């Protein structure tokens, strides 16, 4: 039976268990889209290729499986570069399939012809070009193998248009099935023993964990070790939700002062980057460091470590716990956690005036508290913005792994719409809340039309402070209020835009109207926009300027 290259590629995707792909129409990939239709693979077609890449990334974050996006040649691929960079820096597995000019016109100036494989080389683990139609399924498996092996990440696969159209006898093609093994590594016993030595000697340990906990499904092992050594847990980025917010070892507001007094820092899958003061700011000069990461290059970056464990988070945590058990390790830290809890409570109380504020326009904290009051423990929350993410991550409680997504270590704005599409497509029975700033809404806000077309009822909350708030405030402090430039936006009625698209809109100016508006948005069972008018001066008034990364 003859099968064209497009169908061969899609059969390769089916072998990998793919049910949903993201993309945007383009003639170079039409044979693939046609084959998706025949194979029953759902194609969520977006309004800009950047969103397709973010959605593939978001699919991996929401499901733990690689996401797939398919875009046309040339500018279709160039538009995905930002999305690839976000996934690459966060070690998220995804496969980008790009169109390519026909081989028969190679080097002759064909439409949308360019060296896209060369372009994406710095933001992908590998780049593959198919040269023979019957081998297309093999290349699909190669892309998946690379995306998932070692340190996960994005992979680029391009297929020339004439190969996608070329008929192939199905019997001559190989569809790999049993070709990939899951490899999880644990450090050698001597390093595990050294890790236990550090813990035994510590009086004020602290654990800071990131997204590796999610990828390794090491949540229970993290909690066990924290309880075993009586240490506080702080979570970064994708790590949020790995520990329930009401767990006695979980803390979120007191990391700075706790870190400043620590004599042992256990870093689990999170780098010593700007979020952790580059391993220097607020760190005691003589504190010990135990770092566990699947990325070898992360170990010891910016600060020396006493023990570095490269490998799977789950297995290494289990090995350390077992080593401590073998030593009959017991500890009584004499009120250590209680003192941190007291500090945590005091810091929370300092936010209460802002969370309860009756000001109009509304304060960021008040909006975040209303969201926390309305969502349930199963809601997936996507934060996309500057101040929006900084404030909301302190107030909105995340109860489960994979239920929080944000711009990540690259700090890329505009990721939210793609993440939200993927989260709702992956988990149609869960509520999905996209929390945008008004600046980030303008980047990919039209993807709410995509959500409407594909019946993905997302609730988008726009924190509308008429500007790029996280840039505007420090710029004003450094250069003066009369020197503001490129930071001002108007109070746009984003809710009206969504209504015009066919969705549900809410405009909120008074804090007492927040929760009813949010509830109506969820109850609408369609794509909804809750446009909240925020006070541009509110953060300065309630908390001053502190904590900016730069």
H or E element that contains 541? helix 538-543
Mean pLDDT of 192-218: 96
What is the reported pLDDT for 111?
A: 86
Residue 546 has pLDDT above 70, yes or no: no
Q: What is the DSSP track for 391-438?
A: HHHHHS---STT-EE-STTTT-TT-HHHHHHHHHHH-TTS-EEEEEEH
Rounded Cα–Cα distance for residues 330 and 311 (Å): 26
Lowest mean pLDDT across 111-115, 308-312, 525-529 = 111-115
Res. 547: pLDDT tops 60: no
d(CA 549, CA 298): 20
In this prediction, residues 371-393 reach a mean pLDDT of: 95
CATH of domain 189-340: 3.40.50.1220
| Predicted pLDDT at 538 | 84
Read off the pLDDT of each residue in 484-499 and give the average, rounded to a whole number: 95
Pick the closest to residue 298 from 306, 308, 289 (CA basis).
308
Task: Output the pLDDT for position 315.
Answer: 97
d(C-alpha 460, C-alpha 445), whole Å: 9
CB 143, CB 157: distance < 8 Å: yes
Q: Are 374 and 350 in contact (CB under 8 A)?
A: no
% of the chain residues with pLDDT over 90 = 86
Q: Is the pLDDT of residue 97 over 80?
A: yes
Residue spans in the chain of domains classed CATH 3.40.50.1220: 189-340
Nearest to 267 by CA among 244, 288, 297: 288
The per-residue DSSP string of 290-335 comes to EEEES-GGGTTSSS--SEEEES-HHHHHHHHHHHHHHTT-----SS
Name 371's Cβ contacts closer than 8 Å, sequence gap at least 6: 381, 392, 396, 433, 435, 461, 518
Q: Are 530 and 473 in contact (CB under 8 A)?
A: no
427 vs 408: CA distance, rounded Å = 21
Instruction: Establish whether the linkage from the previous residue to 376 is cis, with ω within 30° of 0.
Output: no
Structural contact between residues 9 and 35, judged by C-beta atoms closer than 8 angstroms: yes
Residue with the bigger pLDDT between 18 and 184: it is: 18
In whole angstroms, what is the distance from residue 462 CA to residue 533 CA? 8
Which pLDDT tens digit goes with each residue over 240-257? Answer: 999 999 999 999 999 999
CB contact at 8 A, 157 and 96: yes
Q: How far apart are CA 95 and CA 67, in angstroms?
A: 6
In this prediction, residue 416 has a pLDDT band, given cuts at 50, 70 and 90, of very high
109 burial level (CB within 10 Å; 0-12, 13-18, 19+): exposed
Position 171 scores a pLDDT of 84
- Closest C-alpha to 35, from 84, 75, 60, 70: 70
Mean pLDDT of 396-404: 96
Averaged pLDDT for residues 381-398: 94
Full DSSP string of 13-31 = HHHTT--EEEE---GGGHH
Distance of CA 538 to the CA centre of its chain: 28
How is residue 31 written in tokens? 């044979």
The pLDDT confidence band at residue 188, using thresholds 50, 70 and 90, is very high
Tokens 């001066």 — which residue? Answer: 537
Q: Check pLDDT > 70 for residue 545.
A: no
Q: What is the DSSP secondary structure assignment for residue 467, as one 8-state letter?
A: B
Asked if 337 and 326 count as a contact pair (C-beta separation under 8 A), the reply is no
Average pLDDT, the chain: 94
Q: What is the CATH number of domain 2-172?
A: 3.40.50.970
pLDDT of residue 96: 99
pLDDT > 60? residue 91: yes
Structure-token pair, residue 306: 């006493």
Q: Where are the beta strands (DSSP E) in 407-520?
A: 432-437, 459-464, 504-508
* pLDDT score of 544: 60
Q: What is the mean pLDDT of residues 203-224?
A: 95
The secondary structure of residue 279, as a DSSP letter, is G
> Based on the number of CB atoms within 10 Å of its own CB, is 334 exposed (0-12), middle (13-18) or buried (19 or more)?
exposed
Instruction: Identify the bridge partners of residue 233 per DSSP, sorted by sequence position.
Output: 207, 250
The pLDDT assigned to 135 comes to 96
CB contact set of 353 (below 8 Å; sequence gap of 6+): 542
* Mean pLDDT calculated for residue range 186-195: 96
The DSSP symbol for 139 reads H
Chain segment 114-152, per-residue pLDDT in tens: 999 999 999 999 999 999 999 999 999 999 999 999 899
pLDDT at 548 over 50: no
List, in sequence order, every residue forming a beta bridge with 529; answer none if it has no partner.
Answer: 460, 505
Residue corresponding to tokens 């019997």:
171
Count of Cβ atoms closer than 10 Å to residue 545 Cβ: 11
**Which SS3 state, helix, strand or coil, does residue 531 take?**
strand
Check pLDDT > 80 for residue 106.
yes
Q: Does domain 356-543 bear CATH number 3.40.50.970?
A: yes
Per-residue pLDDT, 543: 67
Give residue 189's pLDDT band: very low, low, confident or very high (50, 70, 90).
Answer: very high
User: Mean pLDDT, to the nearest integer, of 465-479?
Assistant: 89
Least confident span in 102-106, 151-155, 348-352, 511-515? 102-106
The three-state secondary structure class of 289 is strand
The CATH 3.40.50.970 portion of the chain extends over 2-172, 356-543
pLDDT for 266-302, tens place per residue? 999 999 999 899 998 889 999 999 999 998 999 999 9
Evaluate if residue 435 carries a pLDDT over 50: yes
- Do residues 300 and 276 make contact, with C-beta atoms less than 8 angstroms apart? no
Distance CA 453, CA 25 (A): 15
């Amino acid at each position: 039976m003859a099968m064209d290259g497009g169908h061969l590629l899609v059969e390769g995707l089916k072998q990998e268990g793919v049910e949903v792909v993201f993309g945007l129409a383009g003639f170079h990939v039409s044979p693939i889209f046609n084959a998706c239709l025949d194979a029953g693979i759902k194609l969520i077609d977006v309004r800009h290729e950047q969103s397709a890449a973010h959605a593939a990334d978001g699919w991996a974050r929401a499901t733990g499986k690689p996401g797939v996006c398919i875009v046309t040649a040339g500018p279709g691929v160039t538009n995905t570069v930002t999305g690839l960079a976000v996934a690459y820096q966060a070690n998220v597995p995804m496969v980008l399939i790009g169109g390519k000019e026909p081989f028969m016109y190679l080097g002759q100036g064909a439409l949308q012809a360019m060296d896209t494989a060369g372009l994406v080389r710095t933001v992908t683990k590998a780049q593959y070009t198919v040269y023979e139609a019957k081998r297309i399924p093999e290349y699909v498996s190669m892309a998946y193998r690379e995306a998932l092996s070692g340190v996960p990440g994005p992979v680029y696969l391009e297929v020339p248009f004439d190969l996608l159209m070329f008929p192939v006898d199905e019997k001559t093609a190989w569809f790999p099935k049993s070709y990939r093994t899951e490899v999880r590594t644990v450090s050698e016993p001597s390093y595990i023993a050294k890790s236990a030595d550090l813990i035994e000697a510590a009086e004020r340990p602290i654990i800071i964990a990131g997204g590796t906990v999610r990828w390794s499904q090491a949540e229970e092992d993290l909690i066990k070790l924290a309880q075993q050594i009586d240490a506080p847990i702080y979570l970064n980025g994708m790590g949020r939700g790995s520990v329930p917010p009401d767990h006695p070892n979980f803390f979120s507001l007191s990391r700075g002062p706790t870190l400043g007094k620590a004599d042992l820092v256990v870093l689990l899958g999170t780098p010593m980057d700007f979020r952790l003061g580059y391993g220097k700011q607020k760190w005691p000069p003589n504190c010990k460091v135990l770092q566990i990461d699947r990325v070898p290059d992360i170990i010891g970056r910016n600060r020396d470590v006493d023990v570095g464990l490269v490998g799977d988070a789950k297995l290494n945590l289990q090995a350390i716990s077992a080593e401590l058990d073998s030593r009959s390790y017991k500890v009584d830290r004499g009120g250590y956690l209680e003192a941190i809890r007291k500090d945590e409570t005091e810091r929370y109380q300092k936010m209460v005036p802002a969370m309860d504020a009756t000001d109009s326009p509304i304060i960021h904290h008040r909006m975040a508290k209303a969201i926390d009051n309305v969502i349930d423990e199963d809601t997936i929350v996507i934060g996309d913005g500057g101040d929006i993410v900084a404030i909301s991550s302190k107030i909105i409680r995340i109860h489960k792994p994979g239920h929080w997504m944000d711009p990540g270590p690259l700090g890329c704005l505009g990721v939210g719409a793609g993440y939200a599409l993927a989260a709702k497509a992956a988990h149609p029975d869960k509520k999905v809340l996209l929390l945008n700033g008004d600046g980030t809404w303008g980047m990919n806000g039209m993807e709410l039309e995509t959500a409407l077309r594909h019946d993905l009822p997302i609730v988008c909350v726009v924190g509308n402070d008429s500007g790029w708030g996280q840039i505007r405030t420090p710029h004003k402090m450094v250069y003066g209020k009369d020197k503001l430039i490129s930071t001002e936006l108007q109070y746009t009625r984003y809710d009206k835009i969504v209504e015009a698209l066919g969705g549900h809109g809410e405009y909120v100016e008074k804090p007492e109207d927040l929760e009813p508006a949010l509830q109506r948005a969820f109850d609408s069972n369609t794509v909804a926009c809750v446009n909240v008018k925020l006070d541009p001066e509110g953060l300065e008034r309630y908390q001053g300027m502190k904590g900016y990364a730069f």
